[in-house]
């Protein structure tokens, strides 16, 4: 066992350090007002499973040393000031299950290195400044359960890659700038429980793919600009507990479903529905 020292700086360029050893499995350095940190000594920590740098003032961060940490499972980098970050070193962290980069200043991010992280279950990118995100690499993250892209500035988003994420449980897309979004790939996410699209600039949305999502519990379409929504597909989501949509939006449904037993969330809106095909 070899002793190592992690050097870092806080505000006013004050130098600090923390001592540990190369057998360390977890390192929590959250909330220390860190403005700069040298992760190089961690390259010796082959058993490192957890690193938490949440809640600091980091504007940049070199993740290269983590490429030598094959046991890394959780990496928390949220609530910093990062405007960019290169994830390429994480391509060798094939045991990574959790990555958080929320509440930073990221305007772009390349997710391609994560294609090698086939154990990834949770990815948090909310509350950044992202305009566009290529989700293609996530087609390899078939165990992904939680994906948060909410509170960004995303205009276009292709969800096609998520059709491979059959364990997906919650997808947060609210507070973005879509005009429309194709939910077709979600039809293969049979485990999805929550879909959040509030305040996303939607002018229209086709809910038909959700017909296959029998586990859906929560759907939020509130604070959008849709002129009407066909909710026929939601009849098949019998476990739906919460369906949020503005009162002013007219709802339509297939007349053949008029006398069927709907889930409570939609049944409460029964009087608002215009029955089509009668």
Would you call 27 helix, strand, or coil by DSSP? Answer: strand
| Predicted pLDDT at 1 | 82
Query: What CATH number is attached to the domain comprising 117?
Result: 3.80.10.10
| Predicted pLDDT at 79 | 99
Please name every residue paired with 4 in a beta bridge, in sequence order, or none if there are none. 20
Q: How far apart are the C-alpha atoms of 141 and 124, rounded to whole Å?
A: 14
| Number of folded domains that form the chain | 1
Q: For residue range 11-63, what is the model confidence (pLDDT) as tens digits?
A: 989 999 999 999 999 999 999 999 999 999 999 999 999 999 999 999 999 99
Domain housing 79:
3-276
DSSP state of 46: T
Residue 90 and residue 67 in contact, taking contact as beta carbons nearer than 8 Å? yes
Would you call 210 helix, strand, or coil by DSSP? Answer: helix
- Residue numbers of the chain with a pLDDT score lower than 70: 278
- The tokens for 167 are 């364990």
| Predicted pLDDT at 278 | 59
209: left (phi over 0), alpha (psi -120 to 50) or beta: alpha
How far from chain centre, in Å, is Cα 262? 30
| Predicted pLDDT at 49 | 98
Please report which helix (H) or strand (E) contains residue 275, including its range. strand 273-276
Gyration radius of the chain over CA positions? 22
Q: How far apart are the C-alpha atoms of 200 and 180, rounded to whole Å?
A: 9
Q: How far apart are the C-alpha atoms of 83 and 177, rounded to whole Å?
A: 20
| Predicted pLDDT at 159 | 98
The pTM assigned to this predicted structure is 0.96
């Amino acid at each position: 066992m070899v002793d190592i020292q992690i050097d870092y700086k806080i505000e006013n360029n004050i130098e600090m350090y923390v001592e540990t050893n190369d057998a360390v499995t977890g390192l929590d350095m959250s909330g220390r007002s860190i403005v700069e940190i040298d992760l190089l000594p961690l390259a010796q920590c082959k058993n490192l499973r957890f690193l938490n740098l949440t809640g600091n003032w980091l504007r940049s961060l070199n993740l290269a040393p983590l490429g030598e940490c094959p046991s890394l499972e959780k990496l928390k980098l949220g609530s910093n000031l990062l405007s960019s970050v290169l994830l390429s070193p994480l391509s060798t962290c094939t045991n990574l299950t959790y990555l958080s980069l929320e509440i930073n200043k990221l305007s772009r991010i390349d997710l391609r290195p994560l294609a090698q992280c086939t154990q990834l279950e949770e990815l948090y990118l909310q509350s950044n400044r992202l305009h566009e995100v290529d989700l293609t690499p996530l087609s390899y993250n078939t165990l992904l359960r939680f994906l948060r892209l909410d509170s960004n500035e995303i205009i276009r988003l292709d969800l096609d890659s998520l059709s491979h994420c059959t364990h997906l449980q919650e997808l947060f897309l609210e507070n973005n700038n879509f005009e429309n979004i194709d939910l077709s790939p979600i039809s293969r996410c049979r485990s999805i429980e929550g879909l959040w699209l509030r305040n996303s600039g939607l002018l229209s949305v086709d809910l038909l793919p959700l017909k296959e999502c029998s586990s859906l519990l929560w759907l939020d379409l509130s604070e959008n600009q849709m002129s009407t929504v066909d909710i026929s597909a939601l009849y098949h989501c019998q476990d739906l507990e919460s369906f949020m949509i503005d009162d002013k939006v007219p709802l339509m449904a297939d007349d053949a479903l008029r006398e069927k037993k709907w889930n409570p969330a939609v049944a409460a809106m029964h009087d608002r529905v215009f029955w089509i095909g009668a």
